[in-house]
């Protein structure tokens, strides 16, 4: 104030501001172009999901369906930045498209969960009844394996259901594999076993029946060693008596 104007310094300041402004304008231009490209990419993805959903067969490969849906979701998350208002508009359209695409799989998963829970109840009934039925257990395991291979579930839910199914069968086999003289019943019931030849056959056939529980995303299968030392239960009277001196 009141001093002599320094035109040289003012000129330098003005030139610096002009350079900064040009750089900002350049950045804004690139940002607008990128945003426009991201918008087009997201809209194309929404259209792709709708077309994919319409083209699905009545009975698709559910594992492939789950994999495709995961890939769609990842592509949307990697879609790049766009303006907040525009993103809100596209997000609404995206949710409508992806929810419609997911609906058949969600319904199938709900059905599969209900069927697996029914198998869990049957397994618990076997345990509660205390009846060791090789055919019944094999049937349950086969049904579980079919469901697990057909319809993928969330990994944590898959494991939770599997553990609930496995527990009563493990308990049943554990109870039936204890030698009579070490059980609460002592040596009673020794005569109520299968003959030795049939017992050996059952052990050979049923020693390691496994159940595959395939996870979402192609994870490792789960195996159930359903019979360990079943011979304790099925061993013939004379052979068991000789082994344990009873």
Task: Provide the pLDDT for residue 31.
Answer: 76
Angle at 177 between CA 133 and CA 202, to 5 degrees: 50
Who contacts 46 (Cβ-Cβ below 8 Å, separation ≥6)?
90, 93, 94, 97
pLDDT band at 56 (very low <50, low <70, confident <90, very high): very high
Least confident of 48-52, 138-142, 214-218: 214-218
| Per-residue model confidence as pLDDT tens digits over 164-188 | 999 998 888 887 654 444 444 433 3
Predicted pLDDT of residue 176 = 66
Least confident stretch, 21-25, 71-75, 113-117, 141-145: 21-25
Mean pLDDT of the chain: 76
Kindly state the percentage of the chain with pLDDT values over 70.
69
Average pLDDT estimate for 121-140: 87
Q: Is the model's pLDDT at 159 over the cut of 50?
A: yes
**pLDDT reported for residue 117:** 97
pLDDT surpasses 50 at 23: yes
pLDDT band at 2 (very low <50, low <70, confident <90, very high): low
- Six token digits for residue 148: 């697990």
Measured distance CA(169)–CA(141) in Å, rounded: 10
Please name the residues in contact with 146: beta carbons below 8 A apart, sequence gap of 6 or more: none
- Residue-wise pLDDT for 190-243, tens only, equals 333 444 444 444 444 444 443 333 333 333 344 344 333 344 344 444 444 444
Distances (CA, A) of 87 to 9, 35, 40, 51, 69: 45, 10, 12, 21, 20
The mean pLDDT value for 88-96 works out to: 95
What is the spatial distance between Cα 46 and Cα 53, in angstroms, rounded to a whole number?
11
The confidence score (pLDDT) of residue 62 equals: 95
Q: Which residue has the higher pLDDT, 95 or 17?
A: 95
């Amino acid at each position: 104030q009141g001093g002599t104007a320094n035109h040289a310094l003012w000129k330098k300041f003005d030139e610096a501001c002009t350079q900064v402004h040009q750089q900002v304008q350049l950045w804004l231009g690139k940002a607008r172009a990128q945003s426009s490209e991201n918008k087009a990419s997201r809209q194309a993805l929404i259209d792709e999901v709708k077309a994919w959903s319409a083209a699905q067969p009545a009975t698709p490969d559910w594992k492939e369906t789950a994999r495709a849906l995961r890939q769609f979701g990842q592509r949307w998350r990697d879609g790049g930045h766009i303006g907040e208002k525009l993103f809100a508009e596209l997000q609404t359209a995206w949710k409508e498209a992806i929810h419609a695409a997911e609906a058949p799989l969600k319904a199938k998963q709900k059905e599969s969960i209900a069927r697996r829970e029914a198998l869990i109840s049957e397994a618990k009934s076997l345990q509660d009844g205390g009846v060791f039925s090789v055919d019944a257990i094999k049937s349950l395991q086969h049904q579980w394996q079919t469901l697990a291979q057909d319809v993928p579930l969330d990994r944590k839910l898959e494991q939770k259901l599997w553990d609930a199914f496995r527990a009563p069968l493990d308990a049943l086999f554990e109870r039936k594999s204890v030698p009579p003289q070490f059980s609460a019943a002592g040596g009673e019931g020794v005569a109520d076993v299968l003959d030795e030849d049939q017992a050996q056959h059952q052990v050979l056939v049923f020693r390691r029946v496994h159940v595959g529980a395939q996870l979402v995303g192609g994870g490792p299968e789960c195996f159930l060693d359903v019979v360990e030392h079943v011979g304790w239960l099925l061993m013939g009277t004379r052979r068991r008596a000789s082994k344990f001196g009873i």
